[in-house]
Amino acid sequence: MANDTLDTVLIVEPNFTGHRWRYAEWAAAAYMEAGYRCVIVTDPANAAHSLAVRIARENRPELQIQFVEPLVHGSSGLAKVSYVRFFRDFKHAFDTASRNRKVALVVVPYVDYFFYSLPLTGSPFGATPWVGITMRANFHHAKVGVKAPREPLINAIKAQLFLRAIRAPGLKTLLTIDPTLTEWFARTGRAGHQAGRSAAVQYLADPFPDAKATEPLAARQRLGLGAGRHVLVYGAITERKGIQELVTALAQRGNSDPLTLVVAGAQDDETRAFFSSAGALSPAPVFMDRFITAEEELDLFSACDVVWLGYKGHYGMSGVLVQAYRFGKPVVATADGLIGWFCRTGELGPVVDDLSVTSINRAFDKVFEARPAGGVAGSHLLERNTLSHFKQTLRQAII
């Protein structure tokens, strides 16, 4: 049980959309297990979120939530720069939440809000030690074999800003969900760099809570799925999922080897309009156009035969890839970005270099060509993408 003598860890995350609220929750769990009192600091707009409601209801001494109104920014000067606006908001949140508290550490689950401002602004947390997690750093991709747009000038500038930012006061460790960033830093970033004056750069595997697949037939019955093979598209359903190209390819497979499309997750207006005007697929697709519960997610990954990752313009990590791996499901994946990098060996499923009908259907055919039972043979980097490993890495980041 926490008491008034315990040091406090502030976890500052203004946005509870997507996976960010889970990162805040899991970071709190990691440091509570290490004996700290934790306070999640966020925007009042998140007061009705399930995490905020639960923390307030439980009212545990070791886990509290504090709402801090963001600043009202002007429209001139440096206030035009989003990095600077976020820096000021985080400084304000820290100054407010740290009053009358013995703050030992600050954790920023999404440091990309303000990271590139650090060479100019310094730390928003003064001399207090802090840990940040970057999810969007991609300036190094061309140097480590990740397929991504080439922007040499912008990437060179960001590389220099990165090397200066990791020397910000108080920053103990920069964690990244991109293993290629640690590779780049070890190989290139330290060359001529005063490593002793900079933060450590360490890999933090994007976590997926431990779960075991249920019996596929029972899962299909609970979801109301029919017989045959099913391809799952999961998450926030937008045009960037490559959904239109996927539908076009499935429509041309014919009746000899059909696949049932399962689209699970809230669709944007453009996607809904597309499905309203698209020709009928056979078999008819299954739509779950809403928030998916944890129980439904478990059934979806248990019931479906292959997971679609043929995304467009997505160069970061994908939690859906991690889920597919943990459930032993093959993927059809884009060659681009970190999805393509993780899938480059073909162990996780075929990679498509383009989203043509021929490429997509050839990939699906390959998935079902005598695929060995049990998924990937041996260990894979994604084996580390567990909640327990995530929490262990966070705790080690302050040693």
- Residues 100 and 191 both lie in one domain: yes
Give the mean pLDDT of 114-131: 97
- Residues 101 and 178 both lie in one domain: yes
Tell me: the pLDDT tens digits for 48-64? 999 999 999 999 999 99
Measure the CA–CA gap between 98 and 231, rounded to whole angstroms: 49
Q: Is residue 232 part of a domain?
A: yes
Q: What is the pLDDT of residue 358?
A: 97
Band (1; pLDDT cuts 50, 70, 90):
very low
Lowest mean pLDDT segment, chosen from 57-61, 144-148, 276-280: 276-280
CATH number at residue 77: 3.40.50
Tell me: the pLDDT tens digits for 324-378? 999 999 999 999 999 999 999 999 999 999 999 999 999 999 999 866 555 555 5
Helix-helix angle 216-223:294-303, to 10 degrees: 120
Q: Is residue 33 part of a domain?
A: yes
Tell me: the pLDDT tens digits for 91-119? 999 999 999 999 999 999 999 999 999 99
In the predicted structure, residue 189 carries a pLDDT above the cut 70: no
- Residues 373 and 247 both lie in one domain: yes
- Residues 285 and 346 both lie in one domain: yes
- Residues 142 and 187 both lie in one domain: yes
| Angle at alpha carbon of residue 240, lines to 236 and 242, rounded to 5° | 105
Residues, the chain? 399
- Residues 132 and 91 both lie in one domain: yes
- Residues 198 and 243 both lie in one domain: no
Q: What is the pLDDT of residue 121?
A: 96
Q: Is residue 383 part of a domain?
A: no
- Residues 244 and 165 both lie in one domain: no
- Please give the residue range of the domain that contains residue 68: 8-204
Tell me: the pLDDT tens digits for 286-307? 999 998 888 999 999 999 999 9
- Residues 188 and 337 both lie in one domain: no
Please tell me whether residue 104 adopts helix, strand or coil conformation: strand
Q: End-to-end distance of the chain based on CA atoms, in angstroms? A: 23
Tell me: the pLDDT tens digits for 375-396? 555 568 888 889 999 999 999 9
The answer to whether 252 and 279 are in contact (CB under 8 A) is: no
In the predicted structure, residue 253 carries a pLDDT above the cut 80: yes
What is the number of other CB atoms lying within 10 angstroms of the CB of residue 193?
15
In the predicted structure, residue 195 carries a pLDDT above the cut 60: no
Q: Is residue 140 part of a domain?
A: yes
Number of domains into which the chain is organized = 2
- Residues 226 and 180 both lie in one domain: no
Exposure b/e, 258-293, CB count within 10 A at least 16 = b: ebbbbbbbebeeebeeebeeeeebebebbebeeebe
